[in-house]
Amino acid sequence: MPAAAPPPLLAVFDLAFSRDETPIFGPLSLHVGAGEALLVQGDNGAGKTTLLRVLAGLLRPDSGTVMLAGQPAHPTLRAQQIAYLGHLPGLKADLSALHNLQYLCGLHGRRARLQIDTALALVGLTGFEDAPLRTLSAGQKKRLGLARLWLSPAPLWLLDEPYANLDLEGIQLVNRMVQAHLEAGGAAMITTHGAYAAPPVRTRLLVLKRPDA
Ligand SMILES: Nc1ncnc2c1ncn2[C@@H]1O[C@H](COP(=O)(O)OP(=O)(O)OP(=O)(O)O)[C@@H](O)[C@H]1O
């Protein structure tokens, strides 16, 4: 008898979120399996960031269930399974690029056999190791967030506008990273305003609209 397929890395059932009784999204059901990317599109204010923040456990939904690798999501599981790249990448302004990554790797773990220097080189930040974060440009900060993402051992990437502030080479870098992550058995949910930046991988599309729109 063939072995049962593994559960999707992310499965969401009837998830809904509102603010001050105004519905922002949902009820929404979706799943993302290993090797898949789900592109989340929608107008400004459609709820893309909010959805990713709920999935990351940063906001509490009104209702619904989030399953990670077949188990109900809880903080420890989220920390193991999810790498979240948001608008504020969780970096400290006064720490250097290198110290930020050392700090975050200490907190969340690091992909086996991957050195921080290697991740900095991948994102084009060699030579900026000692630069305090506050002296980096918006695109360089985004690149540091990408180095953090690459260092993370978590299989499910939640990427909120990963292309924002990046030049063309940076956009291609994100796409190469997503492709490599999926080929290694990971998955990604990616918010974006335009399909122009869709990574060249097996991608499904979720278009978000406000429930009251
Ligand atoms: N901290 C907040 N307090 C109150 N309302 C908020 C807050 N953050 C977002 N909202 C509202 O929630 C709705 C969804 O916002 P969200 O940021 O999720 O949209 P988005 O699809 O990511 O938008 P964009 O494409 O502009 O980034 C918007 O109407 C927004 O005004």
Q: Residue 213: its pLDDT value, please?
A: 64
Q: How far apart are CA 174 and CA 75, in angstroms?
A: 27
Q: For tokens 């999926």, what's the residue?
A: 182
Per-residue pLDDT of the chain (213 residues; tens, 9 = 90+): 677 888 999 999 999 999 998 999 989 999 999 999 999 998 889 999 999 999 999 999 999 999 999 999 999 999 999 999 987 667 889 999 999 999 988 888 888 888 999 999 999 999 999 999 999 999 999 999 999 999 999 999 999 999 988 998 999 999 999 999 999 999 999 998 765 566 667 778 888 887 766
Instruction: Give the pair of three-digit tokens for residue 85.
Output: 């790249």
pTM given for the model: 0.93
The one-letter code for the residue type at 76 is T
Q: Residue 203: its pLDDT value, please?
A: 77
Task: Enumerate residues lining ligand 1, CB below 6 A.
Answer: 19, 24, 42, 44-50
Q: Residue 4: its pLDDT value, please?
A: 81
Distance 44 CA to ligand 1 centre (A): 8
Q: Residue 62: its pLDDT value, please?
A: 97
- Residue nearest atom 11 in ligand 1 by C-alpha distance: 45
Give the distance from CA 87 to its chain's centroid. Answer: 10
Domain residue ranges in the chain: 10-207
| CB 28, CB 16: distance < 8 Å | yes
Longest dimension (CA), the chain: 59
Instruction: Give the pair of three-digit tokens for residue 71.
Output: 């188990």
Q: Which atom of ligand 1 is nearest to the CA of 42?
A: 21
Q: How far apart are CA 187 and CA 178, in angstroms?
A: 8
Q: Residue 3: its pLDDT value, please?
A: 76
C-alpha pair distances (Å), 45 with each of 22, 39, 149, 204: 13, 16, 25, 21
Q: Is the ipTM of this complex over 0.90?
A: yes
Pocket-testing residue among 17, 24, 193, ligand 1, by greatest number of atoms within 8 A of Cβ: 24
Q: Residue 200: its pLDDT value, please?
A: 66
Domain 10-207 grouped into CATH 3.40.50.300:
yes
